[in-house]
Amino acid sequence: MSVKGHRFHPSILREYDIRGIVGRTLTTSDALALGRTLGTISVAAGGRVAVVGYDGRHSSPMLEEELCRGLASCGLFVLRIGLCPTPMVYFAARVLNASVGVMVTGSHNPPEYNGFKMVLNNKPFYGENITRLGEQAMRGVWVSGAGGVVDVEASDAYVARMLNDYTSKSGLRVAWDPGNGSSGNILIKMLRRMPGDHTVINERVDGSFPAHHPDPTVEKNLEQLRDIVLSEKCDLGIAFDGDADRIGVIDGKGRVIWGDQLLAILARDVLSAMPGSSIIADVKASQVLFDEIARLGGKPKMSPTGHSIIKSRMAEISSPLAGEMSGHIFMADKYYGYDDALYVAVRLVDYLVRSGESIADIRDSLPEMINTPEIRIEVPDEEKFDIVDRVKERVKAANLDVNDIDGVRVNEGGGWWLLRASNTQNCLVVRCEATDQDVLETLKGRVVEELEKAGVADADLENSAGH
């Protein structure tokens, strides 16, 4: 056992992962210390095997090498599955019964960022666990053992498992955009075996992301895909973020299918097979989604935002389907309950083929609402939760219809408004939804009014476009 502590830059220990700017707040020394600390935690619980993968960023191979060295130094046998999407790490850790799974990825952040997503015993490693990991690394009490590192091929098994749930004999005309992220090679391998007429753009893995920023929840990043869908007369277009745990969808008319709309569509398939099931969505989702789940005979459940939180909640209540506005979709119906955008794409296309309906027609069948995007208001990090608490105390005292599962979501005036503190940024998050523009403007005014009473002056909710 060795004793020599390591101090992580405080900004990189986040709620759901470890993430920073390479060479400034995140270094190879951090990767080594993470491996030694996480390895020590695993070995203390009887762990023996770790699975490690990495994304296409230029800094990922060097971080992955030091991470593996740290894990092996604790006595773990490290299975390196190489360049891959994040959900392939989750898959390999599960099927190989590994005690630790770590993906080296900067997710959808700009190229200069990188980081680590972790699972321990196939459960999300987040929140207080990451805080304690930082404290343990600072103490520097690490176990030593004779571990080892070996390269393992996992992509064939991963692709085969996903396509096992594609039951249709035919396919659709689909455009795909992995955004030069780490799913490109796997996507090509998958499409060679998947029925349909497929067009793929930006499939070459390139950590500089030359085509566009790899975040499919930002509409401008879907413009190239939209153009292909319209010019090639595709049934739909599907995009992934940099590590393919989030999905973006374009319908045949070139319109974005947002995360809550996609969840409503997938709920049709899941609830037809599992009637009465609980389906989870985050607090930012449209009321249309919760109403649609109930209409289909399911039990809608509202959750705090956060993919690790939702994964844990799914396991608690045996929910077969969950999702976030951010494009994280989790399927436990026939699958493992983690966020796998490639698998969700397989299930979506299969359902559309079986249903005989276009995704555009299904979208048009949902009630039309007017809403804002996520509006972010910068505030001092140490004040953001206090501000929300002050607003919460006041609206509750006014006997308004309030859901305070994550910040405050207030139903009033024929719509709702949400105010919550971001878990990952020094900002407040606002979202409003209504049946018409006049009500939406009234609700935005209500948020500004409450923020002013809580000491936040000049909050600008204007110039926001809805979907």
Domains of the chain, earliest start first: 2-152 (3.40.120.10), 157-365 (3.40.120.10), 370-453 (3.30.310.50)
**What per-residue confidence (pLDDT) applies to 3?**
58
The answer to whether residues 119 and 100 touch, using CB atoms and an 8 Å cutoff, is: yes
- pLDDT mean over 430-452: 94
pLDDT of residue 4: 76
Instruction: Tell me the average pLDDT of the chain.
Output: 95
pLDDT at 336: 96
pLDDT band for position 2 (50/70/90)?
Answer: low
Residue 391 has pLDDT above 70, yes or no: yes
Q: How confident is the model at residue 202 (pLDDT cuts 50, 70, 90)?
A: very high
Pairing of strands 236-240, 408-412: unpaired
Mean predicted confidence (pLDDT) in 189-211? 97
Residue of 120, 143, 146 lying closest to 51 (CA atoms): 120
- Arithmetic mean of pLDDT, 92-110: 95
Cα–Cα dist 94/161, whole Å? 12
Q: Is it the case that residue 373 has pLDDT exceeding 90? A: no
% pLDDT > 70, the chain: 98
Q: Residue 451: is its pLDDT beyond 90?
A: yes
Confidence of residue 307 (pLDDT cuts 50, 70, 90): confident
Q: Which pLDDT score, from 0 to 100, does residue 1 have?
A: 59
Amino acid at 248: G
pLDDT of residue 425: 78
Write out the chain in H/E/C secondary structure. CEECCCCCCHHHECCCCEEEEECCCECHHHHHHHHHHHHHHHHHCCCCEEEEEECCCCCHHHHHHHHHHHHHHECCEEEEEEECCHHHHHHHHHHCCCCEEEEECCCCCCCCEEEEEEEECCEECCCHHHHHHHHHHHHCEECCECCEEEECCCHHHHHHHHHCCCCCCCCCEEEEECCCCCCHHHHHHHHCCCCCEEEECCCCCCCCCCCCCCCCCCHHHHHHHHHHHHHCCCCEEEEECCCCCCEEEEECCCCEECHHHHHHHHHHHHHHHCCCCEEEEECCCCHHHHHHHHHCCCEEEEECCCHHHHHHHHHHHCCCEEECCCCCEEECCCCCCCECHHHHHHHHHHHHHHHCCCHHHHHHHCCCCEECCCEEEECCCCCHHHHHHHHHHHHHHCCCEEECCCCEEEEECCEEEEEEECCCCCEEEEEEEECCHHHHHHHHHHHHHHHHHCCCCCCCCCCCCCC
pLDDT at 272 > cutoff 50: yes
Q: What is the pTM of this model?
A: 0.94
For residue 76, which amino acid is it? L
User: How far is 197 from 237, CA to CA, in rounded Å?
Assistant: 12
* Catalytic residue status for 303: no
d(CA 94, CA 315): 15
State the pLDDT at residue 426.
83
* Residue 410 Ramachandran class (φ > 0 left, ψ -120 to 50 alpha, else beta): beta
pLDDT greater than 90 at residue 139: yes
The string over 117-149, giving b where at least 16 C-beta atoms fall within 10 Å of a residue's C-beta and e elsewhere, is bbbbebebbbbeebeebbebbeebebbeeebeb
- Residue 138: CA count within 13 A, CB half-sphere: 11
Q: How confident is the model at residue 343 (pLDDT cuts 50, 70, 90)?
A: very high
What average pLDDT does the segment 160-182 reach?
A: 98
Assess whether pLDDT exceeds 50 at residue 464: no
Phi-psi region of 202 (alpha: psi -120 to 50; beta: other; left: phi over 0): left
pLDDT at 463 over 70: no
The confidence score (pLDDT) of residue 278 equals 98
pLDDT grade for 102, boundaries at 50, 70 and 90: very high
Mean pLDDT over 100-124 rounds to: 95
- Distance of alpha carbon 69 from alpha carbon 457, whole angstroms: 50
Catalytic residue among 42, 107, 155, 308: 107
Locus of tokens 């569509």 = 265
CA–CA gap between residue 31 and residue 460 (Å, rounded): 40
More confident call, 462 vs 378: 378
Max mean pLDDT range (216-220, 425-429, 457-461): 216-220
User: Residue 47 above 90 pLDDT?
Assistant: yes
Decide: 140 and 3 in contact? Cβ < 8 Å.
yes
Q: Report whether pLDDT(466) > 50.
A: no
pLDDT at 382 over 70: yes
Helical pair 86-95 and 341-355, crossing angle rounded to 10 deg: 90
Share of the chain above pLDDT 90, in %: 89
pLDDT at 423: 79
Q: Is residue 366 classed exposed, middle or buried when 0-12, 13-18 and 19+ CB atoms within 10 A define those classes?
A: middle
Q: Is the pLDDT of residue 331 over 70?
A: yes
Cβ–Cβ < 8 Å for 408, 304: no
